[in-house]
Structure 1
Amino acid sequence: MTEQIATLGQLLDGAGTNWRVFDIGRHITKLDKKQFLAIEQAQIPYPFPLAGHAWLAIQFWDRKASSEPYVWFLKFPVDEQSKLVCASRDHFANMVIEALGNDLTGAHADGKLDNNPYVFTPNANKLAAFNALLKVLLKQPASQYYEYTQLYFSGKLGFENWQSVAIQGIADFALRLNDGKNQAALQQAWEHLPADVLQPLSAMLEHVEIPPAFSEQLLSYAQHAIAQKDTLALCCALRAMSKAQAQTLTAQLVDSILQSDISTESDVLLTIAGRCFNLLTDAERLHIFMDNCAHHQEIAELFPSIFADLVAIPSVRPHLLGLLRKENRSETLARAIGRLFS
C-alpha cells in the first residue's frame, strides 16, 4: 500500500470520484462517510457484520463526467470484535492500484477486478433491490419491467398471473412505494398475492421504511398467520416490517410471535435474528428469543449459529453476553449456553 493512501475513501477521493457506501449484508443501509472512515481505521466495529464479514456496496462516479456510476460489491473479514481486518482492505487497495492505477472510472476499468478475492456478486433479490435503490437516488427512470409490475399489483392482470412479473420490476415497485398509487394498490393486493410473489416482494420491502398505515395492516395479517400457523405468510410480513418507520408495531409483532405456538419454528427464529436484530437490543426480549431458540428441537445447530450471528452485531453483543451471566434462565437455555463452551 502506498503511503499516500490509507483507506478506500482516500483511494476514491484521490481518483477524483464522488462516492457513497452501503451495507448490503442485512438491510441495504447507507453508511455515513465519517462512520465509514472510523470503520476503515478500526476505531469502531462494523455495525452489521454477517458471517464474519462486512458486505459493502461502494458506488462511485467521475466528478467531471456524467457517465453511469460504477459499483464495487466487496466483502472484507472482521475480527472477533467485529472490527475490519485492515490487512484485507490494504490488499484489495493494492490490487486496485496495480490493475487500474489512479483511473478507477476509465473505459479500461471494466472487468479488471472480476477475479479479485474481495469482490462478490449479491444474490438476485439483493442485486435487484440495490439497482432499484440506485435509480431512485440518481433520479433515473425505473427499469423496463416497472410499469408491467404496477399493472400486476393493481389487480388488472389477475393475481394468479404472476409468471411474467420480473424480479427487477418487483424491486422497482417496492423501492418506489411512495410513487403515485403504489402503496394503496399494494395494500389492497397484499392478501390476494400468491407465495411466489410474496416471497420476493418481502425480500425487497425489508430494505424500505414502510409507513405506519401499511405496518398496521401487516401486523393484523401477521397475527392471523400466527393463529393459522402459516409460517411462510408470517415470515413475509415480518421481513416487510423489519425496517418499518413504526418499529413499535414490528416489536409488537415479534413479541406476539415469541409468545405463540410457532415461537420455536426455525424459519421464524431465523427471520427475527436476520431481519429484526435491532429489536433484540431489549434485554428481556432477547432473553425470551434465545430461550425459544434453545427449545427448538429439529436443527441441532440452530442455537449456536444464531448465537454466533447475534454476538457479532455490536448493538446486540453486550446484551447477549449479559444473558450468559443471568441467573433466572430456564434449564434448557442454561444447557444450550453450556454447550457453546463445552
Structure 2
Amino acid sequence: MDNKISTLAQLLDAAGTQWRVFDIGRRITKIDKDSFEKIENAQIPYPAPLQKHALFAILFWDKKATDEPYIWFLKFPLDEESKLVQASRDHFSSMVLEALGTQLTGAQDGKQLNNNPYIFTPNANKRAAFNALMKVETNKPASIYYEQVQLYFTGKLGFTDWQSLSLQGIADFSFRLDKTENTESLLNSLAHIPLEVSTPLSSMLENIAISPTLTEKLLKLAKLSIENSDITSLVNYLRCLSNTKAQGLLDELIDNILQTDLAYELDIILTITGRTWLSLSDPKRLHMFMDKVATTDKHPDLFSGIFADLVAIPIIRPHLLGLLREQNRSKALSTAIGKLFS
C-alpha cells in the first residue's frame, strides 16, 4: 500500500473525490468526517455495532464531473471494545489500490472489487432507504414511484388500495417528510393504513429523526396497540419511533411496555434491543429490561444473545457490565447472568 495512504479518508481525498459516509448498520445515519476518521483510526468505538461489525456506506463522486456518484457498502470487523480492526481496513485499502490505484471514479465498472471480502449488499429495505437518502443528499429527484405513494397517503385512493405501492416509493416519501404536505398526509393516514403499508413504512422511518408532532401521533397508536395486545402493530410503531427527536417520549413508552406482559414477547424484546437501544442506556430501565429477558421461558438462549448484542454498544456497555455487580437482582436475572460464565 502507498505509504502516503493509510486510511479510507486519505484514499478518497487522494482520488480527488467529494465524499460522504453513513452508518448503515442498525439504522442509516450520516457520520461527519472527523468522527469517521477517528473510528477508522480506532480512536473512538463504532457507536452501534451489529453482530460485531461496523457497516458503512461511502458515497463519492468526481469533483470535476456530474456523473452519478459511486457507492461502497463496507463491512469491517470490530474488537471487543467495538473499535475497528484496522488490519481489515488496511487490507481493503490495499485491494482497492491494487485494483484501481487512486482512479476511484471513471475506472470502475463494478467488477474490480467483486471479490473484495469487505464489500456487502444491504437488504432491500436498507437499499431503498439509502437510495432515497442519497437522492435527497445530492439534490436529485425522487424515483418514479414517489408520486403514487404521495397520492396514497392523501387517502384519495382508499387505504385498501396499496398493491400499486413500491418499497422505493415509500422510502422516497419517508425521506421527504420535511415537505409539509407529506407530514400532514402521514399524520392523517397513520391510523388507517394496513400492515402491508405500515411495516415497510416503519423500516424507513426508523432511519429518520421524526418530529415531536409525529412522535405524539405514533405514541397514541402505540398505546392503543398495547391495550389491544397487538404485537405486530406495536413492533411497527416502535420502529417508527426509534430515531425520534423526542427521546423522552419514547423512553416513557418503553417503560409502559415493560410494565405489561408484552415485555416477554420475543418480537418486542428483539425490537427494543435492535431499534430502541438508546432507551436502554438508562441503568434502571436496562435492569428492568434484562430482568424481563431473563424470565422469558420460551427462549432459553435468548438472554445470552441479547447480552452479547447490547454489551457491544458503547453507550450501554458500562451499564450492562455494572449489572453484573448489582446486588439487588432477581433470582432469574442472577441465574441468567451466572450461565454467561458457566
- TM interval, short-chain normalised: over 0.9
Q: Name the residue aligned to 1:159.
A: 159
CA separation in 1, counterparts of 2:218 and 2:305? 29
TM-score of the aligned structures, taking structure 1 as reference length:
0.98
Q: Name the residue aligned to 2:331.
A: 331
Note the 1:205-244 alignment, pairs <5 A: 205-244=205-244
Letter in 1 for 2:262: I
Shift of 1:111: 2.4
CA separation in 2, counterparts of 1:113 and 1:231? 42
| More deviation, 180-189/17-26 | 180-189
- Aligned residue pairs: how many? 342
CA separation in 2, counterparts of 1:243 and 1:153? 22
Say which SS state the counterpart of residue 64 (structure 2) adopts.
Answer: coil
Q: Name the residue aligned to 2:200.
A: 200
CA separation in 1, counterparts of 2:114 and 2:77? 19
CA separation in 1, counterparts of 2:295 and 2:226? 18
CA separation in 2, counterparts of 1:7 and 1:42? 11
| More deviation, 188-197/51-60 | 188-197
Q: Structure 1 residues 25, 108: CA separation in 2 closer, same or farther (over 3 Å shift)?
A: closer
For each residue in 1:253-287, what CA deviation from the matched residue of structure 2 results, as whole angstroms up to 9, or x when unmatched? Answer: 11101111211111111111111111111000000
Letter in 2 for 1:269: I
Note the 1:112-123 alignment, pairs <5 A: 112-123=112-123
CA separation in 2, counterparts of 1:245 and 1:43? 28
Q: Name the residue aligned to 1:42.
A: 42
Shift of 1:303: 1.1
CA separation in 2, counterparts of 1:47 and 1:149? 33
Shift of 1:107: 4.1
Matched, 1:140 2:131: no
TM-score of the aligned structures, taking structure 2 as reference length:
0.98
**Uncovered stretches (5+) of structure 2, i.e. residues with no partner:** none
Letter in 2 for 1:152: Y
Q: Name the residue aligned to 1:301.
A: 301
Shift of 1:64: 1.3
Does the 8 Å contact 2:273/2:310 carry over to 1?
A: yes
Does the 8 Å contact 2:38/2:44 carry over to 1?
A: yes
CA separation in 1, counterparts of 2:176 and 2:37? 30
For each residue in 1:186-223, what CA deviation from the matched residue of structure 2 results, as whole angstroms up to 9, or x when unmatched? Answer: 11111111111111100100011111111111111111
Shift of 1:42: 1.1
CA separation in 2, counterparts of 1:102 and 1:178? 38
Shift of 1:114: 2.1
Matched, 1:88 2:79: no
CA separation in 2, counterparts of 1:107 and 1:97? 12
Letter in 1 for 2:219: L
Q: Name the residue aligned to 2:187.
A: 187
Shift of 1:108: 3.6
Shift of 1:2: 2.2
CA separation in 2, counterparts of 1:260 and 1:126? 32
Does the 8 Å contact 2:100/2:107 carry over to 1?
A: no
Q: Name the residue aligned to 2:79.
A: 79
CA separation in 2, counterparts of 1:185 and 1:298? 41
CA separation in 2, counterparts of 1:321 and 1:108? 46
CA separation in 2, counterparts of 1:138 and 1:180? 21
Say which SS state the counterpart of residue 120 (structure 1) adopts.
Answer: coil
Q: Name the residue aligned to 1:12.
A: 12
Across the aligned residues of Structure 1 and Structure 2, the Cα RMSD in angstroms comes to 1.0
| More deviation, 106-115/243-252 | 106-115
Say which SS state the counterpart of residue 2 (structure 1) adopts.
Answer: coil
Shift of 1:110: 2.6
Letter in 2 for 1:201: L
Matched, 1:320 2:320: yes
Shift of 1:109: 4.1
Letter in 1 for 2:114: D
CA separation in 1, counterparts of 2:259 and 2:142? 41
Letter in 2 for 1:31: I
Shift of 1:18: 1.0
Say which SS state the counterpart of residue 243 (structure 1) adopts.
Answer: coil
- Percent identity (aligned): 58
